[in-house]
Amino acid sequence: MELVFMALLLVGSAFFSASETALFSIPRYQLRRLQQRPGLVGRSITILLESQRSLLVTVLLGNMFVNVLYASLAVLYGARLAQTRGYLVFAVVDIASLVVLIIAGEVVPKSVAVNSPLIVARFFAPPLLLFRTAITPVRALFEAIVKGLTAVVPSGRAETPATTEDLSNLVEVGKDHGLLTPRENEMLREVIEFGAIEAREVMTPRIELSLYDLDAGKEGLTELIRECKHSKIPVWRDNPDNILGVIHAKDIFLYPDWQIDSLVRKVMFFPETAKIDVIRRELLERQQTMAMVVDEYGGLEGVVTLEDILEEVVGEIEDEFDKREHKMTRLSGDRYLVSAGLTLREWNDIAGTSLTDEKIETLGGMVAMRLDRIPEKGDSVKMGGYRFTVLRVVEQHPKMIMVEKIHEHSKKGDAGR
């Protein structure tokens, strides 16, 4: 008879151990789903987790009760056997019962609950809630004692804001659990990193801009607009670093009789280290879509637009006037044809490397820095386990680069040359 009661108590110990681990291990997103669905199981889990102190007291009281009874029965059963078979049997029975309690009553049920918290909680929450209600007087007494004791002990918990690393880890967990598609995962990561991105990382560099000298007259500007098909043209006077503003292409045709200086609209200026989130906010407040980016000396570095900023989250946005230029094309195996304008951050995301430099933003710039001179066609450098070979140079600026992964046998071959 003792063995039957011990087996039942062992089941009770497993029940309380698994319930505690399962309920405290349910992810928050799954808990929110349960709260939104009507039903006995969802309500039971929600009620139990509303007061974690109450839940903890309930589980520990139940677990302590069954474990004490189990241990007492084990001692009585061992003592009865010792009367006929000796005290060695008593010791063996007590030790064996303790081992069974640890394994079957604690380790195994908690391991199962950790692996499948929601499944275990669905089965165990309703009876646990019933047990909590049944022991309300005793539970309330212990809760009051615990509350009084914890009130005099200073809490070590402090509310700290979530860091970028915390948010990245949450996104990674969502991806691992299949809650996010690869595209959603990429977009969320871009949003998290959004506040740390600087203007120089997303701007269109000066060398690619279509600038216009106001003193050159209105006719030349009309021709430039037709040629480049840009909706806004930055204009200057005296020297290209002296940007006076921008002229909208539509204004040229809407107000053909106006003097060219009357068409100039003010434009905002930002240092190249300005965060794009700040630029976005300022542009929206002033209802503008373009800003000039300048270096520490006030010289023009490039242009950043709201579209450039948005593309950091949603990817490339192309219209009918955009020249389609793929930044990277995979040729075969570990060989890629890459635009020299690909940023180091974009390359690191693609290749899993960590190429960084405070003053360099693009692969072309990194190649030039490693060469310590203006790159020429055929120049090659090795960085981050890859070989970068310049394929095309335009106006002393690299345009296309061949990237090849360096394998072990390639390294040995290079070493022997």
Ranges 77-86, 108-117, 253-262, 318-327: which has the least confidence? 318-327
Within a domain: 321: no
Q: How many CA atoms lie within 13 A of 75 on its CB side?
A: 6
Within a domain: 17: yes
pLDDT at residue 371 greater than cutoff 70: yes
pLDDT at residue 29 greater than cutoff 80: no
Within a domain: 177: yes
- Supply the angle between the helices 40-50 and 52-85 in degrees, to the nearest 10: 90
Within a domain: 322: no
Greater pLDDT, 151 or 11: 11
Residues 35 and 138 in one domain: yes
Which residue's structure tokens are 């989130």?
277
C-alpha distances (whole Å) from 186 to each of 181, 193, 354 are 9, 11, 18
Residues 97 and 120 in one domain: yes
Greater pLDDT, 241 or 185: 241
Among 59-63, 159-163, 348-352, 381-385, top mean pLDDT goes to 59-63
Ranges 59-63, 154-158, 160-164: which has the least confidence? 154-158
- The per-residue pLDDT for 383 is 84
φ/ψ region of 217 (left if φ > 0, alpha if ψ in -120 to 50, else beta) reads left
- The per-residue pLDDT for 285 is 92
- The per-residue pLDDT for 164 is 67
> Given strand 212-213, what is the order of strands in its sheet?
212-213, 232-237, 239-248
pLDDT band at 330 (very low <50, low <70, confident <90, very high): confident
Residues 189 and 206 in one domain: no
Nearest-CA neighbor of 231 among 169, 168, 319?
Answer: 319
Q: Among the three residues 314, 349, 367, which one is the final residue of a domain in this structure?
A: 314
Cβ-count burial of 123 within 10 angstroms (0-12 exposed, 13-18 middle, 19+ buried)?
middle
Q: Residues 24, 27, 30, 36: is their CA dihedral positive or negative?
A: positive
What is d(CA 110, CA 107) in angstroms, rounded to the nearest whole number? 5
Cβ-count burial of 80 within 10 angstroms (0-12 exposed, 13-18 middle, 19+ buried)?
middle
Looking at the structure of the chain, the number of domains it has is 4
Residues 104 and 138 in one domain: yes
Greater pLDDT, 292 or 174: 292
Q: Residues 269, 319, 214, 216: is their CA dihedral positive or negative?
A: positive
Residues 143 and 20 in one domain: yes
pLDDT at residue 168 greater than cutoff 50: yes
Residues 39 and 136 in one domain: yes
What is d(CA 205, CA 361) in angstroms, rounded to the nearest whole number? 11
pLDDT band at 108 (very low <50, low <70, confident <90, very high): very high
Q: Which domain holds residue 99?
A: 2-152
Ranges 170-184, 194-208, 288-302, 394-408: which has the least confidence? 170-184
- The per-residue pLDDT for 320 is 46
pLDDT band at 156 (very low <50, low <70, confident <90, very high): low
- The per-residue pLDDT for 35 is 73
> Given strand 397-405, what is the order of strands in its sheet?
328-332, 335-339, 397-405, 386-394, 380-383
- The per-residue pLDDT for 45 is 84
Q: Among the three residues 260, 292, 314, which one is the final residue of a domain in this structure?
A: 314
pLDDT band at 326 (very low <50, low <70, confident <90, very high): low
Within a domain: 159: no
CB 236 within 8 A of CB 213: yes
Task: Note the pLDDT tens digit of each residue in 291-325.
Answer: 999 988 888 988 999 888 888 777 666 554 455 45
Within a domain: 48: yes
- The per-residue pLDDT for 171 is 75
pLDDT band at 207 (very low <50, low <70, confident <90, very high): confident
Element holding 233 (H helix, E strand): strand 232-237
Q: What is the DSSP annotation of 102-158?
A: HIIIIIHHHHHHHHSHHHHHHHHHHHHHHHHHHTHHHHHHHHHHHHHHHHHSPP---
What is d(CA 136, CA 356) in angstroms, rounded to the nearest whole number? 61
